[in-house]
Structure 1
């Protein structure tokens, strides 16, 4: 019965699919490596954000206009396979989409950024090897192979357009965990390294006379640390949560011929996201969970291609387990996206984004054998 609660706890942490409407999407969890025996899972999610703002009055004739909904919905998929090699060794393979963005300012709004678009896609394949000692301490590590591509069109910045090829990069993860199965206790700490990508880019703007210019741009997907925990606290009841730090202050996209002095994409500070939830087993087949998450605002100006700062969310999850260990889980998240102001000159506010939100739904099918 304990395994049903554990499944719901893991689900609630992974169905919060919108990280402040930004580029952190999967959370890079390695929870599947802790499943008992052999295990396989497939997950699918859909996130629908609603993000809009209003240009500031200090822009004169360009002030007071609504941007319209500039954040597009996206799908999220994930897969994991884990096999027990012997009583001490486990091997897992995880596919996820760790980072991404999809920006599309509507045209015809008179908002200064109208017609601007941007897209970032990343997918990763991670191999994890775990060794469990006789005193319930585990150490694990592995390699992550990541693919990434990006493109943007920013008409209000000298008609700037950039497109990249798909770049691959290799990183690693290491971690340590402590488990006490009789009370469903597990605490796991995971470090994910940065991964460097060298893009071949094609850029054009009014400053290049409208001609395409070939170049190279280096982007590092950020390093991060995950602390994930769970524990039984009463009969058929589990408390779970996580703390995730991401080194966003080192994430920069700065193509060679982008006209302004500031990079195309950058963040003022790192982020820490907190999640806390409780799972409850109702009977031999059904379990449910609820979790809340919080990411504090960092302050300062946000990017016009990512006008958000912090988030608060609530996730409801349910899981059904059949007699043959097939588990079908589902969840829905409501995310309140933090208010933000953008700028065009690093001094004055150019827009104000408030009262924005997103809804995420997720489903996971898993089987233990």
Structure 2
């Protein structure tokens, strides 16, 4: 009984810490599908929850001058749901829902003024290059995108030595919805469904709360369509003016990255466990977001790109957990995420301290977590593809999470 309780506690504690700490991983990473539910006891199990993240990234300087803009990074919530069905003793399947990637930014006056000035000088990447008569530049006011993932993953397990060997695999559908608001209009691009897959393997010895797992998630290519809606006359010359609210068909392409993660956990003493993971994410696949606004320049198409020029990301986590009694246990984790930015934006290294607790309450199990992240300083430059020059000092971000599981 004690070994079984320790095993269940180990899985729950790691999930409680990872659920909140992983929400602030590098690049545009947000939620991960809750495939851990495949290891849960019971013929049927369900878990739902949410993480709320409060990043506070602000520019310290813009164009070499001190900035008074508020933080440009917006708060966001990440929902998660998973349900497992055990078909037989050696075969289980799960359906999962989450928001794997996303971003949301709102820029202040200093950033907008610098963006317009860079356009006029021809140094920025946010203007319409095919329309040189734009007056005053074309600043980004707000930008962001959301994704949703609905997936199915199955696991087959065999007795191997003292434990169980698992093979996991499944597919998912991922949506993409992008919005960018600029001085001269709003771009909306959407891809309702693109497909990917995940494959993994694990080995588990319940008596020692030991599990080693490797999981691969494929890249997803998106081809999005939508509209550009003018917000002001693009050029103010006799005989040519685009009225407010004019819509143009638009389309764009981009890839969201593949990833590979190795995780390990083990009991290390009565009531104690340790866990660690290493994750590689192929963020270097995201060099630019390319899109076309059809017929905008005197009937000709306008090709645009948003620069990222990212490098691959690495996320390393380690932690310990302790079982206080049969109902309550807790854990601490420390995560380092290597920044993916190379100068076109500010995505620097992040250090996250996470705390999680698992509480048996009512018919199920409640998991709660909290995390504080330190975002290291960084800078962006027009010479490296940025819309304008800026720096950021070290900033703090915070996250809270809660989920609840019921099994039968």
TM-score (norm 2): 0.81
1:235 to 1:101, Cα distance in 2 relative to 1, 3 A:
same
- The answer for the alignment partner of 1:199 in structure 2 is 224
- The answer for the alignment partner of 1:50 in structure 2 is 56
Alpha-carbon deviations, 1:169-206, whole Å to 9, x = none? 11111111111111011111111111222111323674
1:299 to 1:98, Cα distance in 2 relative to 1, 3 A:
closer
- Structure 1 stretches of 4+ with a deviation exceeding 6 A read 258-262
Q: CA deviation at 1:57?
A: 4.8
Distance 2:190 2:314 in 1: 31
Alignment map for 1:1-369 (pairs within 5 Å): 1-2=5-6, 3-19=8-24, 22-28=27-33, 30-37=35-42, 38-57=44-63, 63-107=65-109, 112-113=114-115, 116-135=141-160, 136-155=164-183, 159=184, 161-203=186-228, 206=234, 210=242, 212-251=247-286, 252-257=288-293, 263-298=305-340, 300-303=342-345, 307-322=346-361, 324=363, 326-346=364-384, 350-369=389-408
Q: CA deviation at 1:133?
A: 1.3
- The CA RMSD over aligned residues, in Å, is 2.6
Distance 2:383 2:218 in 1: 33
Determine helix, strand or coil for the equivalent of 1:253.
strand
Distance 1:18 1:139 in 2: 26
Distance 1:277 1:192 in 2: 24
Distance 1:28 1:223 in 2: 14
Alpha-carbon deviations, 1:249-307, whole Å to 9, x = none? 1124221259999831424201010111111100011000000100123563042xxx3
Aligned length, in residue pairs: 358
Distance 2:111 2:289 in 1: 27
1:180 to 1:17, Cα distance in 2 relative to 1, 3 A:
closer
Determine helix, strand or coil for the equivalent of 1:53.
coil
Distance 2:302 2:265 in 1: 47
* Contact 2:34-2:81 within 8 A present in 1 as well: no
Distance 1:111 1:46 in 2: 31
Determine helix, strand or coil for the equivalent of 1:133.
strand
Deviates most, 170-179 or 344-353: 344-353
1:28 to 1:341, Cα distance in 2 relative to 1, 3 A:
farther
* Contact 1:302-1:309 within 8 A present in 2 as well: no
Distance 2:380 2:241 in 1: 28
Distance 2:67 2:302 in 1: 24
TM-score (norm 1): 0.89
Distance 2:228 2:142 in 1: 14
- Rg comparison, structure with higher value: 2
Alpha-carbon deviations, 1:182-233, whole Å to 9, x = none? 1011111111111222111323674896554323212222111121221111
Q: CA deviation at 1:67?
A: 3.2
Distance 1:298 1:112 in 2: 24
Q: CA deviation at 1:19?
A: 2.5
* Contact 1:20-1:308 within 8 A present in 2 as well: no
Q: CA deviation at 1:315?
A: 0.5
* Contact 2:26-2:315 within 8 A present in 1 as well: no
* Contact 1:66-1:111 within 8 A present in 2 as well: no
* Contact 2:191-2:222 within 8 A present in 1 as well: no
Q: CA deviation at 1:112?
A: 2.1
Distance 1:299 1:74 in 2: 21
Q: CA deviation at 1:337?
A: 1.4
Distance 1:87 1:270 in 2: 39
Distance 1:246 1:197 in 2: 17
* Contact 2:343-2:381 within 8 A present in 1 as well: yes
Q: Give unmatched runs, 5+ long, in structure 1.
A: none
Alpha-carbon deviations, 1:140-196, whole Å to 9, x = none? 1001111110011244xxx46421134311111111111111101111111111122
* Contact 2:140-2:180 within 8 A present in 1 as well: no
Distance 1:346 1:321 in 2: 52
